[in-house]
Amino acid sequence: MDRNSGILLHISSLPSPYGIGTLGREAYRFASFLQAAGQKYWQLLPLGPTSYGDSPYQSFSTFAGNPYFIDLDLLAEDGLLDKDQLERIDWGTNPRRVDYGRIYESRFTVLKAAFRKGFPRDREAVEAFQEKNPWLPNYALYMAVKKHFDMRSWLEWPDEDIRLRKPEALEKYRRDLREDVDFFTYLQYLFFRQWDALRDYIHSLGIKVIGDLPIYVAMDSADVWAEPEFFQLGEGNVPTEVSGVPPDYFTADGQLWGNPLYDYDRMKQDGYGWWIRRVEGAGRLFDVIRIDHFRGLESYWAVPYGETTAKNGYWRKGPGMDLVGVLTSWFPTLKIIAEDLGFLTPEVKKLLEDSGLPGMKVLEFAFDIREPSNYLPHTYDRNCVCYVGTHDNETVMQWRACADRSDVSMARKYLGLNDAEGFNWGMIRGGMSSIADTFVVQMQDCLGLGAEGRMNTPGKPDGNWQWRLLPGEATPSLAKKLREYAKIYGRI
């Protein structure tokens, strides 16, 4: 990567009058703000449809787009919705937070109205779109059957024949649920039509998109239901072990993620075709892919299915360079960032070195006085991406308020932080001035927000993924200040 910088802001966090950020006008405005600010990257979280808990890291599909992000004003301009009707719906009262309950209750009713108008008109274009996206028939049928069974996980579907994908059942449900299959197909057509237009605009400004690829897919997903042979599943396709991370300084019980684990031996027999298709799908969305929990490709924490915490898991060997080498050779022009945070063994460090991929450095981790840190900027090499903090971390102002006083004192001394500049801007300067090729800052830290701006608290089951930018907060003066920092430190 050339020397550059970017801002992390998820689509859901954009302003909009309809309760959640979308691919509409405010997304175009934010892209223009990035250009004015001298930024070269817009970093996003995964864009897939979310399930219980609203986490973008637990999606119904690794390929599909989130229908919540379809912009309703654009649909109205296309003649598919009545703008007056949209304004009569209660989308939530707090513009700073996403009310996912209200969105869930209202969004699909509105989108169904757009489907009834648009699908007959766009049928040929939708068929052409489906031909280019071979994952789509399985996804649309999966969502239609989920809706039929009151959105229960496919493991709980009362009809075993469709749960186990017997051919007669697939044919029956595709026929009986034809309207809903067409509906979920059309939503993906609308999402990608709007995404492609937005991405073209972003590119026209000289900006590229960084997006996350979670290392695991959700158990309750079309991915596992459609291709169970690539996962560690037992009788009835019930998982034998699931994902997580072991206990550490922050979480005594570890983190029980619950995703099914891959059958890497079976995947290798297929030439890792499942992973190739998955990364190809991510490349359809993003210019740069950040592989979340990259260390899990070297070794991963396996927890017996049914455990209530991650404490009783154990390490198992991952595919390492066997898989990473396939992906980097198959996609030689696709840039990949390795999220190498967490407990890094010599083997993980060697995998990162052998891959040649840039790892991550987080400034909030740099100033722990109890032990030497390789997150301090003077320890970096160029081939890395520096963050003040990620979506899983406290905002930098929250960190200042909550961290050990000695750690904050070290940060002040190391970076020369002062009240005149502002604590958050001094931390931004610390990352901007580092030797790291790429620097990324959360929008919340540009605004100097505290705990109210945190996007996600790992291990906390609710209240996450809700923060939103308010209209008018991405000001010209803020863009000018970011541009000055980027220019001083050679990132323009």
Q: How far apart are CA 465 and CA 306, in angstroms?
A: 27
Considering the candidates 182, 253, 347, 392, report the single residue annotated as catalytic.
392
Q: Which H or E element spans position 355? A: helix 346-355
Indicate if 84 belongs to the active site. Answer: no
Q: How far apart are CA 187 and CA 339, in angstroms?
A: 31
Indicate if 248 belongs to the active site. Answer: no
Taking the CB of residue 285, how many other CB atoms lie within 10 A of it? 20
Indicate if 179 belongs to the active site. Answer: no
Length of the chain: 492
DSSP notation for 139-153 = HHHHHHHHHHTTT--
Q: How far apart are CA 51 and CA 25, in angstroms?
A: 26
Nearest to 224 by CA among 161, 154, 145: 154
Considering the candidates 292, 298, 340, 407, report the single residue annotated as catalytic.
292
Q: How far apart are CA 48 and CA 56, in angstroms?
A: 6
Ordered strands of the 359-362 beta sheet: 335-338, 288-291, 208-213, 41-44, 4-8, 438-442, 384-387, 359-362
Q: To the nearest 5 percent, what fractions of the chain are helix, strand and coil?
A: 45, 15, 40
Cβ within 8 Å of residue 127, ≥6 positions away: none
Considering the candidates 223, 298, 339, 364, report the single residue annotated as catalytic.
339
Instruction: State the pairing for strand pair 208-213/288-291.
Output: parallel
Enumerate the β-bridge partners of residue 208: 41
Q: How far apart are CA 335 and CA 492, in angstroms?
A: 19
Q: How far apart are CA 256 and CA 272, in angstroms?
A: 26
Q: How far apart are CA 74 and CA 70, in angstroms?
A: 8
CA angle 468, 215, 66 (to 5 degrees): 40
Q: Which H or E element spans position 83? A: helix 83-87
Instruction: State the pairing for strand pair 314-317/299-304.
Output: antiparallel
Q: How far apart are CA 276 and CA 326, in angstroms?
A: 8
CA distances (Å), origin 358, targets 135, 214, 277, 354:
30, 17, 22, 11
Catalytic amino acids?
A: 292, 339, 392
